[in-house]
Structure 1
Amino acid sequence: MKTIKMNITNILTIIMSAALVASCSSDDDNDDINNQNDSADQITEIAQNGTWEITQFIDSGDDETSDFSGFVFTFNTDGTVIANRGELSVSGTWSVNDSSNSSDDDDGSSDDVDFNLFFDVPETNDFEDLNDDWDLVSATNSRIELIDVSGGNGGTDTLVFEKI
């Protein structure tokens, strides 16, 4: 009888341990970052790791992705960004920060992350359309999705970078 009680106790211990392990989750299993749970430092680290291309750019409903076809973006640790396509190179600045104040082009949420881009180009240059303080929608180690709601006309812009 003692052996049966011991076996039942051991079986119950194993079952409880298995249930406990199965219910645990590791942050390493999910590399998705969203703007409510993660810091600007994490997004900065992701952007600096590798080279990127624009796979989607929607400007107030118009798909203008092809304007950036073939450009490879490098987000440097010194705050510069370089976009190269063959011999053509366009440089600018970039930063990521936790937005703690409401601006006219975000959703007013105090816990969002802004991805700031600035290219010193004429207004007629396609890169001027990228100049903004974009709100982070989501980020993984291979994809950064950004959105901007214009304060002036209420149009929505979407910008997606994917790692090459």
Structure 2
Amino acid sequence: MKTIKLLPILFALMTLTMASTCDSDDDNNWTNPNQNNVSIAQVRNTAQDGSWRVVYFYDTDHENTNHFTNYGFTFGQDGTLTATNGTNTYTGSWSVTNSHSGDDDSGHNSSDVDFNIGFSTPANFAELTEDWHIVTYSATRIELIHVSGGNGGTDHLIFEKN
């Protein structure tokens, strides 16, 4: 008889424990399951090795890849990012950092590696200015994503080696 009375209490305790450990907004946050395997030094070395081109750029609600057609991007060891098409040259900055703060726009609350890009002009290049999260990278491809905290839009940027 005592066992029967304890079962509802045990069930209620288990339900409360499980409910308190769930976080309803986890489903809306992008996470990189391989983020712990990302080496800042490896990403830096990969980016610095040669010239890259933008093969895909999606800004919140539209594709803008054509803004970067024929531009080669060079990631300098001094943090300088140079984009040139033979006629025009634009200079910005870049870095790869470990972000522990959780206060970035994407809603992440754990440590992650950011691929930071900064251009002040022209406007098309300034759109690349973000603290991008690394989706994946290899010797020939770097895929990045940024989730805006303002409007919740998602930006995608993919570089491929020239």
Same fold (TM over 0.5): yes
- TM-score between both structures, scaled by the size of structure 2: 0.76
Identity %: 45
- TM-score between both structures, scaled by the size of structure 1: 0.75
Distance 1:139 1:109, change over 3 A: farther
Correspondences of 1:16-27 after superposition (within 5 Å): none
Gapped regions of structure 2 (runs ≥ 5)? 1-33
Question: Is the 1:39–1:98 contact (alpha carbons within 8 Å) kept by the matching residues of 2?
Answer: no
Instruction: Name 2:157's counterpart in structure 1.
Output: 159
Question: Is the 1:53–1:161 contact (alpha carbons within 8 Å) kept by the matching residues of 2?
Answer: yes
RMSD (CA atoms): 1.2
Question: Is the 1:93–1:118 contact (alpha carbons within 8 Å) kept by the matching residues of 2?
Answer: yes
Q: Distance in 1 between matches of 2:48 and 2:104?
A: 28
Shift of residue 109, structure 1, vs aligned partner = 4.5
Structure 1 counterpart SS, 2:114: strand
Higher alpha-carbon Rg: 1
Aligned residues: 129
Instruction: Name 2:120's counterpart in structure 1.
Output: 120
Gapped regions of structure 1 (runs ≥ 5)? 1-33
Correspondences of 1:31-50 after superposition (within 5 Å): 34-50=34-50
Shift of residue 41, structure 1, vs aligned partner = 1.2
Shift of residue 129, structure 1, vs aligned partner = 0.3
Shift of residue 120, structure 1, vs aligned partner = 2.1
Instruction: Name 2:56's counterpart in structure 1.
Output: 56
Superposition misfits of 4+ residues, deviation over 2 angstroms: none
Note the alpha carbon deviations across 1:48-98, whole angstroms, 9 max, x for none. Answer: 001100000000131100011110000000100100012100001100011
Q: Distance in 1 between matches of 2:81 and 2:161?
A: 15
